[in-house]
Each structure stands twice: as C-alpha cells, then as structure tokens.
Structure 1
Amino acid sequence: MRIGELSDRTGTSRRLLRYYEEQGLITAARTPNGYREYDERFVDRVLQIRDLLNAGLPTRLIKQILPCLDKPRVIHFPDATPEMLDTLTRERDRMTARINCLTRNRDAMAEYLDAVRGDERPDTVTER
C-alpha cells in the first residue's frame, strides 16, 4: 500500500509516517517511480508505535522493543544496557500506574452511569 493509504488506515499523517521511517521504526520498499510501498503489517505496527509514543516512550526505545511486539516473538537484545533496562522498567511502571488510574476512572464512570440510568424510569424521564 502507498503512504496515503497507510495514513488513512492508521490516522497518522504522511509526515509522521516519513518520520517513523527516518527513525527506523518502519520501512518502505520503493516502486520504480520512487513511491513508497508499505507492507500490510505496518498498519498494526504504526498503531503500536502511536500507542507507545502516547504512553511516553521515546522513539529510540520504541525501536529497541518493536521486535518484542512481532509474532512469533523472538527476543534477543545483545545491546541492552543497564540504563536502557532501567528506563524500560520505569516506563513499564509508569504505564502500570496509568492503567490502574484509568481503570479506577472507568469503573467510577460506569458506577455513575449505572446509578443515573437506574434512577431513570419511563414514568420519570422528561422529554427534551
């Protein structure tokens, strides 16, 4: 698929896709006329990259952990440094805290909605 289709399917700008390519996060083949051609698997890859960026990971770390996200998973990091492992540990813990916070907020919202909807009976609902 060309860059425009990848952009449409992932909701990611073409400019950002070119940046991901510059950072080595995705790769594109080139057609004889120079157009970028992306494999179907990059739809999921771009969505994963966006999620990791939204979680606060820098592209340099994303590039290192992307192989762990592929299936089948083959994890081998000959260049893993103690600093990188510390950073990933901190980021993982930060993500876990965010997940816990989001879960609490979701549950509170669900309880609120249940309570509000439980109070709405057909004879007490007013027209709007």
Structure 2
Amino acid sequence: MRIGELSRRTDVAVYLLRYYEEQGLLHPQRGAGGYREYVEEEPAIVRRIRSLLAAGLGTSTISTVLPCLRDTGDRLVPTCSDLLADLHQERDRIAQVISDLQASMNALDDVIAAAPADVTRRALASLDM
C-alpha cells in the first residue's frame, strides 16, 4: 500500500508518517518511481507508535522499544527482558515532569489567591463577556 492508503487506514496525516520514517520508526520499501510501499503489518505498527506517543514517550525512545512490543489487541506487551528497565526509567521521567508541573500550578494558584478582591471581581467580570 502507498502512503495515502496507510494514512487513510490509520487516520494519521501523511506528513506524520513521513516524520515517523525519518525517525526510523517506519521502514517502507521504495517502489517504481520512488513511491513508498508499506506492507500489511504497517497499520498495526503505526497504531503502536501512536499509543507510545500518547503514553509520553519520545520518538527516540520509541525506536528502541518498538521492536520489543507485541500488540495483543487491547494492550502492548513487552517481549524483551531489558525493555522493562527502560520503561520504568521513562515512567520515572514522566512522574518527575508531572511533579514539576504540579508545583508550577500550585505557585500560580498562590499568586492568583493573593489578588485583591476588586481585581478578582474585574477579572471574573471580563470572563463573562
């Protein structure tokens, strides 16, 4: 199948499929005229990539873990023993980002709470427009 068909089957934009190829996540063959040719397994691979992106992993990490994942239909299952350490490391990184964002939100809440009543009223009134 060509890139347009893969895009339709996966609901992923063509430019993103090209980006995934640039990142080493997809490996299409080149047909006559240089057109990308994808195999029938490619839509499942794209769905795995999208799942891993949604989980917060970057494309460089995905290129490492993708070969070690099997799709059971309802979840991705690690198949390489050394993959779990990498996934735990990524989870710890994401947890730290969440913690940092929570601290930022709390600091912003403190600033908002310190606003005088008249400033708060005016701000709320402007939101009701």
Q: Same fold (TM over 0.5)?
A: yes
- CA-based RMSD of the aligned residues comes to 2.7
Name the structure 2 match of 1:20.
20
Count of aligned pairs between the two proteins: 88
Give me the TM-score of the superposition, normalised by structure 1.
0.59
Q: Distance between the aligned counterparts of 1:17 and 1:76, measured in 2?
A: 29
Name the structure 2 match of 1:109.
none
Structure 2: state its 5+ residue gaps.
72-77, 96-129
Q: Distance between the aligned counterparts of 1:49 and 1:9, measured in 2?
A: 14
Name the structure 2 match of 1:66.
66
Letter of the 1:88 counterpart:
L
Letter of the 2:43 counterpart:
V
Structure 1: state its 5+ residue gaps.
96-128
Superposition map of 1:37-52 within 5 A: 37-52=37-52
Q: CA deviation at 1:9?
A: 0.5
Name the structure 2 match of 1:106.
none
Give % identity.
Answer: 50
Q: CA deviation at 1:34?
A: 0.9
Name the structure 1 match of 2:125.
none
Over residues 91-114 of structure 1, what are the superposed CA-to-partner deviations in whole Å (9 max), with x where a residue is unaligned?
34669xxxxxxxxxxxxxxxxxxx
Q: CA deviation at 1:70?
A: 4.0
Structure 1 or 2: more helix by fraction: 2
Q: CA deviation at 1:75?
A: 2.8
Name the structure 2 match of 1:89.
88
Q: CA deviation at 1:88?
A: 2.4
